[in-house]
Each structure stands twice: as C-alpha cells, then as structure tokens.
Amino acid sequence: MKIASWIVQVLLALVFVASGSMKLFAFDQFAASAPALADQKALVTFIGIAELAGAVGLILPALTRIFPVLTTSAAVGLATIMLLATGFHLSRGEVSHAVVTIILLALSAFVIYARGFKAPVVA
C-alpha cells in the first residue's frame, strides 16, 4: 500500500505541477484552450497557486516526515478542486474534461485513504 501510495502521490504531483504552472506562467496559452475562463485571470491564478501548493504538499511532508498529516490535507484540497472542476466541466457539457477530473479526484481520494485520514477529535 505504501509503494502504491507513493506512486500515486508522485504522479499526482507531476500532473498538478504541470497544470498549475500552465495556469500561472502561461495564462495566454491556457486562455486559448479554455475560452470560458479567458476573462477570469484572478481565479485561474488562484487555482494555479493552489495546485502548485497541493503538489508540494503531496510530496514534501511525507518525504521529510515533518507534519505528514499535511500530505493528507493537500490531497483533500486537490480532491476539492477536482470535484469543483468536474461540476464546472459537466455544466458546460465538456464530458471528456470531466472524465479527467474524475480520475484525478479518485487518485486524490486514494491518497487520502492510503495516508489514513483521521477526523479531528472534538472535545
């Protein structure tokens, strides 16, 4: 389970580094491929930053063993982004894009499960 978790984490990190970098550093190319978001530069920038932070969060805390719970939190954040992206794409009738986001959502959910998400105890 640990090896599978690491493989999925690295693959997700690579995908989100590529996706986040394109949103941050190549907005014009991104806007050409997603005309519905061409006038939403601030939103796209925010999503790009969140994806890059999530990619770092998937790897760094688990690798250094400093606050490894942050790896699970990063996976929860990325799963949330993918859930919202799925709704966005389905609302626009972009089923092929929604399939990709559902796959990334499922992989993020696997990381959450493999890393043993534990809800905080409320006293």
Provide CB contacts within 8 A for 18, sequence distance 6+.
none
Note the pLDDT of residue 123: 60
CA–CA gap between residue 55 and residue 9 (Å, rounded): 8
Give the angle subtended at the CA of 72 by the CAs of 14 and 83, to the nearest 5°: 70
Domain ranges, residue 81: 2-114
Query: pLDDT digits over 81-106, tens only?
Result: 999 999 999 999 999 999 999 999 99
- Residues 86 and 101: beta-carbon distance below 8 Å: yes
Note the pLDDT of residue 33: 86
Regions of the chain where pLDDT drops below 50:
none
Residue 123 located in a structural domain:
no
Note the pLDDT of residue 24: 95
Polymer length in residues for the chain: 123
Q: In one letter, which amino acid is 51? A: E
Residue 119 located in a structural domain:
no
Residue 75 located in a structural domain:
yes
